[in-house]
């Protein structure tokens, strides 16, 4: 693997002010940095929005040359048992910080994967070693963190990044890496990434490896996603009563393009909102798509389930005024 492969690490912000799209959060962290004090933290939000980057950037600025000795990063999804809390975490937290650092920092990524026993052990460790160590728990779903830990933490909720910030950063990386990126390619990356910066960077990199120019075709072929206009056209055919034509479109997506049924049904959900139909009909279609998605996750046949969705859409168009 070449040193330039992991672009997400190469372009990770080193300082809080370099983090984009999360200014309210970085402003609060900057105040903690100035005061050289910090409560226990709970970072929650979707993937790729800067949670891990924020705590690493904060620790880099606070500890400087003593970063390695005062900062411990663990991924709780790999080490989720109580033994990790009793051994690795406790042994690091009980020792004094290096240099003139006021405390150490332990970052637990994907903390919502910790077992309840491990979380209760962590709560006791957080209480006992608060004078020498601060904890930053990072998760996608804060509801999976037990209440005693939540009450001890300052909670930061990271929203998805908006398209303007994503576009600015993607263009910056493309320029640095000398990648030819078209406007259609940018829109395709925005569509597929859904506000996830890490995913957007990885898509740009993967597409640039397979194609000399990153355009919409290269993005959708690399990510295994259908073009939104293809999904929209398929739904419109079903709404117009042309079920066989819609079925043929579905066959092309599943068989010839090799797309996954769960990906298609999720894209259908996004396109339903853009259809020119009344709100009641959209409610019925969303309910239908949700049922199909559940059946697919339970192991049902994708072609049968998606054909069922198209058939119901066609019947709905005939039986009601949409």
pLDDT confidence of 4, banded at 50, 70, 90? Answer: very low
Q: Residue 145 pLDDT more than 90?
A: yes
- Residue among 161, 230, 228 nearest 201 (CA): 161
Read off the tokens for 181: 């990126």
Q: In this predicted model, what pLDDT tens digit does every residue of 201-258 receive, in sequence order? A: 999 999 988 777 899 988 998 888 889 999 999 999 998 889 999 999 999 998 888 8
Q: SS3 of 45, please?
A: coil
> In what order do the strands lie in the sheet containing 40-44?
71-75, 104-109, 133-139, 40-44, 153-157
Segments in the chain forming alpha helices (H): 7-10, 23-35, 51-63, 67-70, 82-84, 90-93, 116-128, 147-150, 163-176, 183-193, 197-210, 216-223, 228-239, 243-251, 261-272, 279-297, 302-319
Confidence of residue 11 (pLDDT cuts 50, 70, 90): confident
Q: Tell the burial category of 1 from Cβ atoms under 10 Å away from its Cβ (0-12, 13-18, 19+).
A: exposed
Which residue ranges form the domains of the chain, and what is each CATH number? 7-157 (3.40.50.300), 163-223 (1.10.8.60), 228-319 (1.20.272.10)
156 class by beta-carbon count within 10 Å (0-12 exposed, 13-18 middle, 19+ buried) = buried
Identify the residue whose tokens are 């194609």. 211
Phi, psi at residue 137, to the nearest 5°?
-95, 125
Claim: this prediction has a pTM higher than 0.75: yes
Angle between helices 163-176 and 197-210 in degrees, nearest 10? 40
Q: Quick one: pLDDT at residue 77?
A: 60
pLDDT of residue 2: 45
CA distance 189 to 167: 9
User: pLDDT digit string (tens) for 61-99?
Assistant: 999 889 989 998 887 666 656 666 677 778 888 888 888
Residues 287-308 pLDDT 10s: 999 999 999 999 999 999 999 9
CA separation for the pair 297, 198 (Å, rounded): 25
Residues near 10 by beta carbon (within 8 Å), at least 6 away in sequence: 4
Q: How many residues does the chain have?
A: 322
Give, in degrees to the nearest 5, the angle at Cα 112 between 201 and 202.
10
Identify whether the C-beta of residue 263 lies closer than 8 Å to the C-beta of residue 306.
Answer: no
Residue 133 binned pLDDT confidence (cut-offs 50, 70, 90): very high
Using CB atoms within 10 A of its CB, is residue 116 exposed (0-12), middle (13-18) or buried (19+)? exposed
- Between the CA of residue 162 and those of 25, 59, 113, 195, 276, what are the distances in Å? 15, 26, 28, 6, 25
Strand partners, 104: 133
């Amino acid at each position: 693997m070449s040193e330039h492969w992991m672009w997400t690490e190469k372009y990770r912000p080193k300082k809080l002010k370099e983090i984009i799209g999360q200014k309210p959060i970085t402003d609060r962290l900057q105040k903690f940095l100035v005061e050289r004090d910090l409560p226990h933290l709970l970072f929650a939000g979707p993937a790729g929005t800067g949670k891990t980057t924020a705590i690493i950037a904060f620790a880099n600025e606070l500890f400087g040359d003593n970063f390695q000795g005062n900062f411990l990063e663990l991924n709780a999804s790999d080490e989720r048992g109580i033994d990790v809390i009793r051994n690795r975490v406790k042994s690091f937290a009980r020792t004094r910080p290096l240099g003139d650092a006021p405390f150490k920092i332990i970052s637990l990524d994907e903390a919502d994967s910790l077992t309840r026993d491990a979380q209760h052990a962590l709560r006791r460790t957080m209480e006992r070693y608060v004078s020498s160590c601060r904890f930053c728990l990072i998760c996608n779903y804060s509801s999976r963190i037990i209440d005693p830990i939540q009450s001890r933490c300052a909670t930061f909720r990271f929203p998805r990044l908006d398209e303007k910030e994503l576009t600015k950063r993607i263009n910056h990386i493309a320029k640095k890496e000398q990648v030819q990126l078209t406007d259609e390619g940018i829109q395709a990356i925005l569509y597929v990434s859904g506000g996830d910066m890490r995913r957007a960077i990885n898509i740009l990199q993967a597409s640039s490896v397979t194609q000399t120019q990153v355009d919409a075709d290269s993005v959708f072929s690399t990510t295994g996603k259908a073009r939104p206009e293809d999904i929209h056209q398929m739904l419109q055919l079903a709404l117009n009563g042309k079920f066989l034509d819609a079925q043929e479109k579905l066959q092309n997506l599943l068989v010839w393009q090799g797309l996954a049924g769960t990906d298609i049904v999720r894209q259908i959900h996004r396109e339903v909102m853009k259809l020119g139909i009344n709100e009641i009909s959209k409610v019925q279609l969303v309910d239908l798509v949700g049922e199909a998605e559940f059946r697919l996750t339970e192991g049902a046949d994708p072609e049968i389930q998606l054909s069922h969705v198209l058939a119901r859409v066609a019947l709905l168009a005939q039986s009601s005024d949409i």
